[in-house]
Amino acid sequence: MLALLCISLIAQDVSAQTFSEGEWKVIRSLSPASLQADTTNEYEQNKDSALLGQHLFFDKRISSNGEVACSTCHIPDLYFTDGLSVSTGIKPLERNTPTVLNAAHQRWFFWDGRADTLWGQPIQTIEHPSEMNMTRSDALDIIRKDEVLHSQWNNVFGAMESQQVDENAAKLSKAIAAYITQLSAADAPFDAFVAGDMDALSESAKRGLQFFITDGGCLRCHFGPWFTDGSFHSVGIPPLHGGPLKDSGRYGAIDLVTNAEFSAGSQFSNDAESMRATITKHIAKRKDDWGAFRTPSLRNVARTAPYMHAGQHQTLDDVIEHYSTLENFVSADHHRETILTPLNMTAQQKLDLKAFLESLTAPLPDEKLLKDPRQARPEHAQ
């Protein structure tokens, strides 16, 4: 009995995944994840502003048919996604709904990065004909006429000057961004492992981690505590319904971001001299950007299926299969150099890589951030 125990202990020891000093150095660069404040939004860290933003996030009245709220597509229980390949607002959309959890850490927003700040995003969505299709002045009217929202607005921004429509639209956007900034989910088993809990990852996940940082080459694009380089690439994903590539991705977004009304360098920014603003001013349009999309963060990725910019892959297995075979790889430019080569993974390597990606799932944020604050109040309870 004792002998058996000894043998099994030795066997475990031998099979246990070990990392070299160099690998540990890389692993430590992937955790912990923390947010950097966005100086272009002076209301970002303001709790009252975030509460107003939370009210607005769940409010269906801010859509032309009164049926679409931000939370219609960014569903809290689904890690703020909608589980669909592409979603439908007022009309069908052409891109997959990314999570807004941890969104505040990003360098660029949307799959193509057509917003350079988080607060530059909500107003675009509200006014988008396929998403919420609401004019900014109609959206502001909803706030003005609602007792609760109006008093919260006054609290954060002071009296609403009705002539300053654009200024107010920027404030509305900044309040929603303040709410989204609170939606952090970045404390996963992987982080416990890096912090010293060697049992936080299974042996399979540890092998997957090693593959990820070495032979898998994933780290070339998915690096740092948010597992993204904040840049744009093509990994050869064909369109959702086949046919030729149509979505120009980053290429088409560059004119949009440099001319955006609500941007880091605009008159509505609270830090128009920031690095963000300077970089936007100087982006060049390159041919290689055609069909490139932002490298997504991999935190909580096991909970945010389907995957890729148009939800072309239903499961993590499908994504891993893609990187393993590159079978249906499409490229806008056949001469383009690609850093991807088929990984020809074994069945075990695929399971291990998946186990590692699953170890990046953190718990959802505090429950009070996950629902319409109105529903928590007794006078609205049914």
* Location of structure tokens 């597992």: 227
CB of 5 to ligand HEC, least distance (A): 37
CB of 176 to ligand HEC, least distance (A): 5
Q: In whole angstroms, what is the distance from residue 315 CA to residue 338 CA?
A: 24
209 lies in the binding site for ligand HEC (CB under 6 A): no
117 lies in the binding site for ligand HEC (CB under 6 A): no
176 lies in the binding site for ligand HEC (CB under 6 A): yes
CB-wise, 196 or 244, nearer to ligand HEC?
244
Site for ligand HEC in 131-150 (CB under 6 A): 131-132
Interacting residue with ligand HEC among 30, 50, 52, 68 (CB under 6 A):
68
213 lies in the binding site for ligand HEC (CB under 6 A): no
CB-wise, 46 or 295, nearer to ligand HEC?
295
91 lies in the binding site for ligand HEC (CB under 6 A): no
CA dist 245 to 150, 164, 188, 264, 309, Å? 46, 42, 36, 31, 13
Nearest residue to 217 via CA among 310, 344, 306, 103: 344
CB-wise, 113 or 265, nearer to ligand HEC?
113
The helix/strand/coil state of 62 is coil
CB of 9 to ligand HEC, least distance (A): 33
CB of 207 to ligand HEC, least distance (A): 13
Please list, residue by residue across 35-61, b when 16 or more beta carbons sit within 10 angstroms of its beta carbon and e when fewer do.
eeebbbbebbebeebbbbbbbbbbbeb
The helix/strand/coil state of 161 is coil
Interacting residue with ligand HEC among 76, 89, 225, 265 (CB under 6 A):
89
Residues 6 or more apart whose CB falls under 8 angstroms from that of 211 comprise: 345, 349, 352, 353, 356
Q: Six-digit token pair at 276?
A: 């963000």
Nearest residue to 236 via CA among 140, 160, 334: 334
The full DSSP string for 96-118 is -----TTGGG-SSBTTTT-BSSS
- What length does the chain have? 382
CB of 12 to ligand HEC, least distance (A): 27
Sign, CA torsion 173/176/178/181: negative
85 lies in the binding site for ligand HEC (CB under 6 A): no
Stretch that binds ligand HEC, among 117-125, 151-159, 258-266, 273-281 (CB under 6 A): 117-125
Widest CA span in the chain: 84
Stretch that binds ligand HEC, among 25-33, 259-267, 288-296, 372-380 (CB under 6 A): 288-296
* Location of structure tokens 């300053």: 164
CB of 226 to ligand HEC, least distance (A): 11
Interacting residue with ligand HEC among 41, 72, 182, 263 (CB under 6 A):
72
CB of 76 to ligand HEC, least distance (A): 13
Q: Hey, which residues does 109 pair with through a beta bridge?
A: 115
Stretch that binds ligand HEC, among 19-27, 114-122, 257-265, 373-381 (CB under 6 A): 114-122
Sign, CA torsion 170/172/174/177: negative
349 lies in the binding site for ligand HEC (CB under 6 A): no
Q: In whole angstroms, what is the distance from residue 317 CA to residue 223 CA?
A: 21
Interacting residue with ligand HEC among 97, 182, 184, 204 (CB under 6 A):
97
CB of 6 to ligand HEC, least distance (A): 38
Contact 30, 194 (CB under 8 A): yes
Site for ligand HEC in 218-257 (CB under 6 A): 218, 220-222, 233, 235, 237
Residues in contact with ligand HEC by the rule CB under 6 A: 57, 68, 70, 72-74, 87, 89, 93, 95, 97-98, 100, 103, 106, 109-112, 118, 121-122, 125-126, 131-132, 176, 180, 216-218, 220-222, 233, 235, 237, 293, 295-296, 298, 301, 304, 307-309, 319, 323, 339-340, 353
